[in-house]
Every structure is written in C-alpha cells, then in structure tokens.
Amino acid sequence: MKTKRILIPTDFSVSSLNVLKTVLGSNLHGEKYDIILLHGIRMNDSISDLLFFSKNNLLRSVSNPEFDHALMVLKNKYASSIQNIRSDVFTGYNQSAFNSYLEANRIDEAYVSENYCHAKAGKQSFDVSPYILKSNLKVNGVRLATQEIPEKGQVAEILLNSVPAR
C-alpha cells in the first residue's frame, strides 16, 4: 500500500499532538503514514544568522522534552501505521513559498484542528494553519475536546484523551 504523506501544524505543545492522535486513531484501514509536523518560524534575515543556520538547532530551541516524550508514546503506540515521523520548520514569508514547500515535500494531505489555538513556542513562531487552508491541498478538519483538564501540557494529556468522533 502507498504511504500517505500528511502535514500537521504543531506548536510543540502536547495538546497539539491530539490532532495526530485523532488521525492515527481513526486509521481503520491499516494505511501507512509519513508524517511531517510543521512549525512556522520567522527567520531573522541577518547574514550571520543565515551563515550559522541549523535546522536541528532551531528545532531543539522550540521543542521541549514533554513534547518529545508524548510524540514517542504515540510513535510506539501506532508503530505499525507510521512509516516515518519528523518535525520540520517552515521559514517562508508568503503563500507561494508555502506552496512550493508543499510541492517540494510532496505532501498528500493536511490535518488541521478547527478549534485549537496555537501557542507561540518561540519568539518568532507563527501558526502555519492559514497557509494550509489557503493552499490547494486536501485539508481535513479535526475537532478537539476543549474542556479544562488538570493534566494540560503533560504527557498524561495524550494518554488520557480518548479519541473523539470525527
């Protein structure tokens, strides 16, 4: 079976992984996914920053251990339906840059939460969902439960959150 490459916007909070969990949890046909978690960062255009640009360092600066562990929990849970999963940063400024990003990475589909408000992981972070919605990509909306829970932001959130009906 062909692997489906999907794009999910993330803000490196455990809550944002609920979208991923919903997607993987509703995968009843045993499809395989190649997942890209995309985070938008406005790059500083100074020459020295460009010179020392490293995507790994950038990702490390916005990520956090809770998120990494929660992602690993999901990865272990859905090991058979995940071909590959990686985080990526989008540093473009406009829609056409985003469109070429989609083309370059051969994205098949995107999943966007309809009611989750992205937090700012770093100073220069931005939400890529508007770009996704404006692109020609097939976009699936996901609704997340939004009640107040004590375990917000911990790995427990992803453990306890039961998959909502789509």
Partner 1 sequence: MSTQLKATVLLFVSLFSLIVLISGFVYLSVSNYAYDDFYKLLEIRALTYAKIEIEKDTSSYARQMAEIKNEYFEKLPLEQVVAISAEPGKSFAGYADRMKLPPSFFNEIIAKGKAEYNNSSLFYKGIYYKSGATPYIIIASAQNYFETHHKAYLKKTLILAVALTFLLAFFISYFFSRSVFNPITKITERVKQISSENLHLRLPEQSKGDELGTLTRTFNDMLDRIETSFETQNNFISNASHELRTPLTAIIGEGDVALAKLRTSEEYIDTIKVMLEEAEKLEKKTKALLFLAQTGFNGKIQKFEKVRIDQLLWDVKDTIEKINPQSKIHIDTTMLPENPRKLKVRGNEQLLHLAFTNIIMNACKYSNYQTVDISIGASDTKVFIAIKDTGIGIPPNEVKYIYDPFFRASNTNNYEGYGIGLPLTQNIIRIHGGEIHVSSIENKGTTVQINLPVGEFDF
- For residue 127, the tally of other CB atoms under 10 A from its CB is 18
Query: Any contact of residue 144 with partner 1 (CB under 8 A)?
Result: no
Cβ at position 11, least distance to partner 1 in Å: 20
Backbone CA torsion sign across 155, 81, 38, 94 = negative
Please identify, among the stretches 50-58, 92-100, 113-121, 145-153, the one whose residues bind partner 1 according to the rule CB under 8 A.
Answer: 145-153
* Residue of 78, 90, 98, 101 interacting with partner 1 (CB under 8 A): 78
Q: Does 162 bind partner 1 (CB under 8 A)?
A: yes
Query: Tokens standing for 68?
Result: 């990494």
Q: Taking the complex as a whole, how short is the minimal distance between the CB of residue 2 and partner 1, in angstroms?
A: 22
Alpha helices, DSSP H only, in 40-153?
Answer: 47-51, 55-62, 65-77, 95-104, 129-134
Tokens of 20: 């991923």
Question: How far is residue 28 CA from its own chain's centroid?
Answer: 21
Min CB(6)–partner 1 separation in Å: 20
Q: Which residues, 6 or more positions from 4, have their beta carbon under 8 angstroms from its beta carbon?
A: 31, 32, 33, 34, 108, 109
- Quick note: the x/- pattern for partner 1 over 9-48, rule CB under 8 A, is ----------------x-----------------------
Q: Does 150 bind partner 1 (CB under 8 A)?
A: yes
**Are the C-beta atoms of 85 and 37 separated by less than 8 Å?**
yes
# residues near partner 1 by CB under 8 A: 26
Binding residues for partner 1 (CB under 8 A): 25, 68-73, 75-80, 148-152, 154-156, 158-160, 162-163
